[in-house]
Amino acid sequence: MATTQGYSADADFLSWSLDPTRRDLLGGMVAAGLIAGTPAFAAPLSGHHNQGDMSMATITTKDGTEIFYKDWGPKDAQPIVFHHGWPLSADDWDTQMLYFLDKGYRVVAHDRRGHGRSTQTDTGNDMDTYVADLIELTDHLDLKNAVHIGHSTGGGEATRYVARAKPGRVAKAVLVSAVPPVMIQSERNPGGLPKSVFDGLREGLAANRAQFYLDVASGPFYGFNRPGAKTLPGTIQNWWRQGMIGGAKAHYDCIAVFSETDFTEDLKAITVPTLVMHGDDDQIVPIADAALLSVKLLRHGELKVYEGYPHGMLTTHADVLNPDLLAFIKG
């Protein structure tokens, strides 16, 4: 585990985001999760499409929202459920899904409402509704003894779902570069990011979403702005592709969701073993106000810090994180 003594990623992020020459990037990197290579484009699907044990489908929630999901692998195997970040889709987990599918697990990932191939909702874009949608999906698939893994905003969704899940539904949880306990600065959370950062994100999205998303992916999200970093054009393009197929209104609303939702009580309520993974060079969700606080609130929390790793480390360092995830799941 890397030391975090003297860590100043929050200050680094603020100085970067407040630079007027980088206004379009301001804070926008705050809660996206990206965990894939460059999968092919996927069109919206309705109904069920099977190829052996690999399937993609949709469910319709009580309020009429269609939720797209992937459900791959043996249906009698232990399920792993992946929760993506803002403003992306289930495709961000393709690298992990293929890895764990090869290990014999059942792997499930969905596009959150307003994201990816799910309905571009203009209402219900809040954490409680996200979790209500997920409860409908896990009930529909009857997932039991599942491991829930969430990245960034998806880490918040996983936290609230696991805290509220029915007995027998969840075995373990993993929070990767996740937004809990709460991102925004307040009297109760003096180490958080100021509201101006998130206001800047909204401004960038509303002014030119396509350019804004391109700037987010090519900058601090993967640490591509660091000296000597190797830029991966396909990864940048895949991030942009996923963001642009989602709904602008839902993405705009989600900024308040990931920045202002307080997961403190959810973390305290979780009773299953939970692994907290975070890079100490995360310029998006600074570790000091996220993982280092979350692990103290969990009853059975374990912290793993990755020295020099960025927010999008599940893509840039999948060769390291995937085996670590497997070891925790099997442990």
Please say if 324 is a catalytic residue.
Answer: no
- Residue 28: CB atoms within 10 Å: 30
Catalytic residue among 84, 148, 278, 311: 311
Q: At what angle do helices 153-164 and 127-141 cross, to 10 degrees?
A: 60
Say what the pLDDT of residue 2 is: 34
Position 203, amino acid: E
Say what the pLDDT of residue 54 is: 65
- Between vectors from CA 19 to CA 234 and to CA 216, what angle results, nearest 5°? 20
Are 57 and 140 a contacting pair, CB within 8 Å? no
Model confidence, pTM: 0.86
Strands 54-60 and 48-51 turn out to be: antiparallel
Burial 102-139 (b: 16+ CB within 10 A, else e): eeebbbbbbbbbbbbbbbbbeebbebebbbbbbbbbbe
Catalytic residue among 92, 280, 282, 289: 282
Q: Is the dihedral of CA 220, 223, 229, 234 positive or negative?
A: negative
Say what the pLDDT of residue 6 is: 32
Say what the pLDDT of residue 40 is: 32
What single string gives the DSSP state of each residue in 100-161?
Answer: HHHTT-EEEEEPPTTSTTS---SS--SHHHHHHHHHHHHHHHT--SEEEEEETHHHHHHHHH
Please say if 311 is a catalytic residue.
Answer: yes
Q: Provide the CATH topology of domain 9-330.
A: Rossmann fold (3.40.50)
Cα(84)–Cα(69) distance, integer angstroms:
12
Say what the pLDDT of residue 56 is: 78
Question: Can you give the residue ranges of every domain in the chain?
Answer: 9-330
Q: Where are the alpha helices (DSSP H) in 165-247?
A: 195-218, 233-245
Say what the pLDDT of residue 53 is: 60
Are 217 and 235 a contacting pair, CB within 8 Å? yes
Provide the token pair at 169. 């539904």
The CA-atom distances, in angstroms, between 262 and each of 124, 143, 294, 303 are 18, 27, 11, 20
Q: Is the dihedral of CA 153, 324, 239, 69 positive or negative?
A: negative
Are 263 and 183 a contacting pair, CB within 8 Å? no
Catalytic residue among 152, 177, 259, 294: 152
Cα(136)–Cα(128) distance, integer angstroms:
12
With a cut of 50, which residues of the chain have pLDDT below it? 1-52
Cα torsion through 32, 314, 191, 219, rounded to 10: -60
Say what the pLDDT of residue 78 is: 98
- Residue 271: CB atoms within 10 Å: 13
Q: Which of 88, 104, 75, 86 is nearest to 42 (CA)?
A: 88
Please say if 71 is a catalytic residue.
Answer: no
Query: For residue 325, how many C-alpha atoms fall within 13 Å in the half-sphere facing its CB?
Result: 29
